[in-house]
Every structure is written in structure tokens, then in C-alpha cells.
Structure 1
Amino acid sequence: MNPQVHSVAFVTVAHRPADSELALTAVGGAALLTHTVRGLLGTPEIDLVVAAAPERCAKSFSEALHGLACRVVPGASLRQVFAAVEPLLSPDAVVLVHDALRAFTPQRTVRQVLAAVRDGAPVAVPVLPMSDTVKTTDESGIVTATVDRDGLRSAQTPVGFSLPAFRSALADSADPGLADTAGAATVPGDPDAMRVASAFELTLAEALVAGGDREDPL
């Protein structure tokens, strides 16, 4: 039987060791991880959602995602997790890598990433213009220059890959993601796609959930 999966979203916590626990932080009565996966599952263009669970958190991730049609795959790296589902993928599959802590990324952002890859971009990433003033400093901490921010962007997820581009990224890194986006196409990011990792960001996330009136949420 021919492979049926034309798009797969990997939900990862590969940035820092503490991110696994942060992904289980409750916001509005559900873990951030749960919010993230629910939104991806609600995106019709995505055929399969896979949570890449660090071994120590596999049970907790499974409990947080109980009742959701998400496959939880324990693994030390995304390379290992990908190997478990690669046989299911069609040759034209789009692979998304999404940070579990970006639980409130709008669906339109996900769809734009998918569309960019479908339209021929090997890699696509959502970005926002840089609003802060950026300085360079020397070894003693003295400001040496102001960086022109016109060409600077802050990157978000999901990062979208064609299947060949993702395999190529895996050859260079066990956990490809934002570090593997040189030459990527860009789509508009969204402020709601913030990475919820600090007390202040958790407060904002609670407000988003309590408001319940976000247009086109993930």
C-alpha cells in the first residue's frame, strides 16, 4: 500500500533540558503541550502529529495527550523519532518542526508555512521584524556599535521542510529546527506565537486562553 501521510508535524522540546517540564505547565487547565497538539490536530492540512518525548518525560507527555490522536514517540533526538514514522511518509511529504512551547501559534501561520513548502521552498520559517534596538559589545561589555535592524528578523516555528530538505538537515543535526534555516523562505509570524517560557509569558498565555476570542487560533 502506498504511503498516505503527506504532512507530518513533530512537536519538540529540544532547546533546553528544562523545556520538557515547561511544556507540561498548565495554562487554562491544560498543559502547554496539550494546547499545541490540539491546535495542530485541528489543522486539516496536517495528516499526522507526533510528539517527540524525551525518555524521562514520555509517560507525562502521554498523560498530557491522553485522548488526542497524537503519536508520542520517546527518543533522545528528533532523528530517532523521525525514523519511527519515516516509512509512513509519501515522497512529497511536508515535515513541520514545532516548538511545544509556542502553544498559541495561529493556524494561518501554520498554513502559510505548509503552503510555502508546497509551492517549492525547501525550507520555510515564520518571522517577525525585529523591534528592539540591537547592540554589539566588546569583551568587556562596552557597546561598540548599533546593528541595522532593517534586515533582522526573529524566527518562530513551525519550521517547514520538504522531505529531502529534512533528511539533509538530519544528516547535519540530530535535532534540526531554527538552526537549520539558512536560505529558507519566510512567511509572516505572529505575536501570539511567542515562546511561553517565563512567568511573564505564562501570564500572557493565561490571558489569551481566558479571552477566548482569538481569531483563527492554533
Structure 2
Amino acid sequence: MRTAAIVPAAGRGERLGPGRPKALRLLGGAPLLVHAVRALARARGVSLVVVAAPGPDVPAVERLLADFEWGADVEVVPGGESRHSSVGRALAALPADVDVVLVHDAARPLAPPELVEAVASTVRQRADACVPVVPLTDTVKEVAADTVLRTLDRSQLRAVQTPQGFRRAVLAKAHAWAAEASAEELGAITDDAGLVERLGIAVTAIPGSEEAFKVTRPLDLVLAEALLARRRADGAR
């Protein structure tokens, strides 16, 4: 089964501060996007990575990625106004022989290739959809305005990471529904697994990785720099 990966990278990422799009913020001298694509391309089962970039920036992103050597083919397509539409456009651009599709956030630049392969293998072997998850360490409370309504049982809760993996037909069906859905129907769905769940399709969870954390705020970038420096000291690129 041929596996391809999609990286939606058309967002601005304002919580990281003003300036260039989040995917192009530098980490260890290279954009977050470069690190994310490298993690995907190094997974032995991934043969193609498709990046959905802001429309006007497609030529610049193509030139940026052309400066690096990858273990897989890398292509760039214009993204959409939302994450869902960017993934949908990249999905439509995949060759017909792709059977398994991974979707990965550029904002998770240090996800280990081993995690990428674990997600892909789970879909190839037994699942329609797969997400990596990690336990919550903080107490979680449901709050309305400034009033705590209840404390949730965190033993049943997990934080979801990327890459998320899908059989192509399942992901295509989910995005076909999303393209026609109203804002109310989409509601608080923020990831591709959420779209699949909305169709009543089971999603399999596997153990995630602490290194696959999301770079959202400036402090996250400091942590990513420290982790990257440790990797380089250990001999990894």
C-alpha cells in the first residue's frame, strides 16, 4: 500500500507572534516546515509528501524545499482558507495509487519518524483511521464564563497529536462531507480524525510521543530549540 503525507501549512499562526507564517518560522536555522517534512520523509513507508502552502507563497516554498535532500518526493500545492480546505486540496492532488494518507501539522516539527511509521503501519494493517495520543498530566475542568462546572476524569482523556493516518477512501469521504457542511455542522471539529468520527467511522488510538508537541506559543519554540540541540549533540541532524 503506497503511503503519502499531507502537510497543511497555509495558516498564519498568530499566537506565535507577528511576522512570517508559523510554518516558516525558524527552528535551529531552518523553518518548522522543513523539520516537519524531514520527519515524514524519513519514515520508511512514506514515498510522497504534499505541502499545502499559501497560494501566493507556493513558488517561494517550492524553492525553499528544493534546497534540501529528502527521502521521498516532495510537492507543493496551493492551500485553502481553512485547514480543512487545505487538506482537501492536497488530497485531491495525490496520485491515484496512494492508498494510505497521513496528515501532519507543520507546527509539530520534531515528531519522530518512528511515530510516523507507527501511525502508517496501523492503518496498513488494521485501521480505517489512526491517531497518536498522550495522557493528560494537568487536572481538567469544564468552565462556563468564570464558573467551574465540573472536574473531568482525566484517566479517560488523551491529547491528540499528528501525524494522523487514514485509508484514502475514508479521508476522501470525510472531506467530501466537510466541503458541503455548514459552519454549524463543522462546529468545533479541528482535525481530520474529527471529520472521520463525524461520519461514525472508528478511529484507533496508539501511543504518541512527547517530542511530537505542537509549537503554538513562543515558549514552545524555546522548548523545541532545546530538544533540537540535544538531538544534534547526540549526532542526529
TM over 0.5: yes
Q: Which structure 1 residue ranges, 5 or more long, are not aligned?
A: none
Q: Which structure 2 residue ranges, 5 or more long, are not aligned?
A: 15-19, 81-85, 180-189
- Kindly indicate whether the alpha-carbon contact (under 8 Å) linking 1:95 and 1:161 is maintained by their aligned counterparts in 2: yes
Indicate the residue corresponding to 1:49 in structure 2.
49
Indicate the residue corresponding to 2:192 in structure 1.
177
3-state SS, counterpart of residue 196 of structure 1: coil
Q: Distance in 2 between matches of 1:178 and 1:54?
A: 23
Indicate the residue corresponding to 1:85 in structure 2.
94
Match of 1:201 among 189, 197, 220: 220
Indicate the residue corresponding to 1:186 in structure 2.
205
- Kindly indicate whether the alpha-carbon contact (under 8 Å) linking 1:24 and 1:32 is maintained by their aligned counterparts in 2: yes
Indicate the residue corresponding to 1:149 in structure 2.
154
Superposition pairs for residues 8-157 of structure 1, below 5 Å? 8-13=4-9, 16-18=11-13, 21-68=21-68, 69-76=73-80, 77-87=86-96, 89-90=97-98, 93-138=99-144, 140-157=145-162
Aligned-residue sequence identity (percent) comes to 36
The yes-or-no answer on 1:158 pairing with 2:177 is no
Change in 2 beyond 3 A, CA 1:184/1:13: same
Q: Distance in 2 between matches of 1:151 and 1:181?
A: 20
Q: Distance in 2 between matches of 1:64 and 1:181?
A: 33
How big is the shift at 1:176? 5.9
- Kindly indicate whether the alpha-carbon contact (under 8 Å) linking 1:7 and 1:94 is maintained by their aligned counterparts in 2: yes
Letter in 2 for 1:190: S
Q: Distance in 1 between matches of 2:31 and 2:129?
A: 29
The Cα offsets for residues 49-102 of structure 1, whole Å up to 9 and x where unpaired, read as: 111112133233223312344111113232222222243x24xx1100000110
**Structure with greater helix percent:** 2
Provide the alpha-carbon RMSD of the alignment: 2.5
TM-score by length of 2: 0.80
Q: How many residues are aligned here?
A: 209
- Kindly indicate whether the alpha-carbon contact (under 8 Å) linking 2:193 and 2:203 is maintained by their aligned counterparts in 1: no
TM-score by length of 1: 0.86
3-state SS, counterpart of residue 161 of structure 1: strand
- Kindly indicate whether the alpha-carbon contact (under 8 Å) linking 2:175 and 2:195 is maintained by their aligned counterparts in 1: no
- Kindly indicate whether the alpha-carbon contact (under 8 Å) linking 1:107 and 1:216 is maintained by their aligned counterparts in 2: no
- Kindly indicate whether the alpha-carbon contact (under 8 Å) linking 1:94 and 1:161 is maintained by their aligned counterparts in 2: yes
